[in-house]
Amino acid sequence: MLIAVRTAPHHSWCNPAERIMSVINYGLQGVAIKREQMPEEYEDEFETLKTLEDIQGKAKENPCLKSELEKCIVTVQKLFCERTEHLVWKNEAFETENPASNLEIDEMFKNILRIVSTLTKDETTQQQLRKHKPLVEFIKTHCQERAYSFQIKKCNQPSCEVCYPIRMPIDVFQNLYFLPDPVPSRDNPDRYETFANLYGKFTTEKFRPSLINLNSKAELAPSNILISAKIRGYKIELKLTEQEKQDLESALQTYTYSCGSPIFPDDHSLAQKVFVRVQISCDSPIELLYYTSKKAGNIPICYWCGANNDVVTVPQNLQENFKLVYPLCSSCNENGKTFYKRLENKVNSRKKQKVNHVD
Ligand SMILES: [Zn+2]
Ligand SMILES: [Zn+2]
Ligand SMILES: [Zn+2]
């Protein structure tokens, strides 16, 4: 059996801090990191690369750059490991592991090829994987997929061509279940049910905090309010005096802001004037301010999840009919999301009305 869990991917500021995440964040509080310098020629080359994809692409082409990059972050990785290993969760210290080596990835991939021999290592998106029918079937019958976890369990069916026979005693195997989803306790909904009470029971993701937030988002805002808790570094246009604006600026720099919490201590002079919309979590759609503020570095990101890769091309008819069509990534698209759009072109709608009159 294999259980893999991950933290929130992509841009961390637009993803939820759920459960374990906040514990790990303690380890990083007040930590400044700086990587080592690379030899100048590599620094110059690195300077021109903007996104993670650019960096990965270039590193593939240039093995020297790749190894220099790996070397220059070793001290940072060590620091993260040390800080994380200081943390304790329910009396157990955190452990850290080294990233998988290419050799280990190849080994793992050999096993995947037993399921579907036509898969290649660079097919990594859901869209690409879904084209491989045997893989889809295997995931359906052997795996449990969640936003933050992925689990595989041998089926122990003699007819299965993928699974090797089990090696553990059969009674142990029969009592081995997938890791359950978090479910609120029946006695106290503010707490989660204990693992022991849930283990082996059928659970779903419906209590995932970010999913619940998605379904309950309707909060009225006072007029004098900071609407974007999600986006830092946007232009603040508030009805504030110059002095208040300066106070706000310095407060934003002084206090560490984390998702869902107020910006100021309660006794701060601006505490009653500037609010955070607490209903906006890191998993809410991207605030429209992100797209309207012309800040350099605001790359197109998916309106729903914040992903910046695999953006779907906007269909011609939407482009013609709406002034604003927000980016959509292919995985949100597959999950049933559609393009979020605003400001229908008046010219077109009037034409349509006229046509209707003629009819
Ligand atoms: Zn099997
Ligand atoms: Zn956040
Ligand atoms: Zn998306």
Q: What is the pLDDT along the chain (359 residues), one digit of tens a residue?
A: 999 987 765 544 444 445 556 677 778 888 888 999 999 999 999 988 888 888 989 998 999 999 999 999 999 999 999 999 999 888 999 999 988 888 999 998 998 999 999 999 888 888 888 899 999 999 999 999 988 889 999 999 999 999 999 999 999 999 999 999 988 888 888 788 999 999 999 999 888 766 766 555 434 333 333 433 333 433 344 556 777 777 777 776 666 555 555 666 666 766 666 655 545 555 567 767 677 665 556 678 888 887 778 888 888 888 888 888 888 988 888 888 889 888 777 654 444 444 444 43
| Ligand 1 center from residue 167 Cα (angstroms) | 14
How many C-beta neighbours within 10 Å does residue 357 have?
7
| Ligand 1 center from residue 113 Cα (angstroms) | 14
State the sign of the Cα–Cα–Cα–Cα dihedral 350, 355, 358, 359: negative
Main-chain phi, psi angles of 93, to 5 degrees: -75, 145
| Ligand 3 center from residue 100 Cα (angstroms) | 27
* Cβ pair 305, 332 in contact under 8 A: yes
Q: Which helix (H) or strand (E) holds 322?
A: strand 322-325
How many C-beta neighbours within 10 Å does residue 231 have?
19
Give start and end residues of each alpha helix (H) in the chain.
Answer: 20-28, 40-47, 52-61, 63-72, 74-85, 102-115, 126-130, 133-142, 170-174, 195-198, 209-215, 242-254, 288-292, 316-321, 330-334, 346-358
| Ligand 1 center from residue 142 Cα (angstroms) | 6
* Cβ pair 332, 304 in contact under 8 A: yes
Residues linked to residue 88 through DSSP beta bridges, in sequence order: 93
How many C-beta neighbours within 10 Å does residue 314 have?
15
What ipTM is given for this predicted complex? 0.43
| Ligand 1 center from residue 215 Cα (angstroms) | 36
| Ligand 2 center from residue 90 Cα (angstroms) | 25
Q: Where along the chain do its domains lie?
A: 220-296, 299-359
| Ligand 2 center from residue 17 Cα (angstroms) | 6
